[in-house]
Structure 1
Amino acid sequence: MPSQLSAEDQAKVDHYLSAPQHQVQRQPFRPWRLLAILLAAVIALGLLSRLLSQLV
């Protein structure tokens, strides 16, 4: 899809995005780590729920 900006506006956008504060190095996305964190959270909340039900 071609850009709908004028050449001048596209140059401004390119200049803005090339600024150092917009060049953040990100770690690669790790779906298995996210799944492990979610699984641990669900298990921990389930155990907490069972513990609270025993106390009440």
Structure 2
Amino acid sequence: MPSRLTPEDQQKVDQYLNLPQHQVERQPFRPWRLLWIVLAIVVALGILSRLLSRLVL
């Protein structure tokens, strides 16, 4: 798809995107790590829920 920007505007966009603050190295996405974090949070909240229910009853 061709750009709808004028060449001058496209040049400004390219200069903006090439600034050092936009060139940050990102770590690779780790889905297994995310799964373990979510699982740990769910288990922790479940344990907290059971502890609170024993205190109330």
TM-score when normalising by structure 2: 0.91
Q: Which sections of structure 2, spanning at least 5 residues, go unmatched?
A: none
Residue 11 of structure 1 corresponds to 11
Two-structure CA RMSD over aligned residues (Å): 0.8
Q: State the identity %.
A: 75
Could you tell me how far apart the structure 1 residues matched to 2:3 and 2:35 are? 37
The aligned amino acid for 2:38 is: L
Could you tell me how far apart the structure 1 residues matched to 2:43 and 2:6 are? 53
Structure 2 counterparts to residues 1-56 of structure 1, below 5 A: 1-56=1-56
User: How many matched pairs?
Assistant: 56
TM-score when normalising by structure 1: 0.92
Deviation at 1:2, TM superposition (A): 2.2
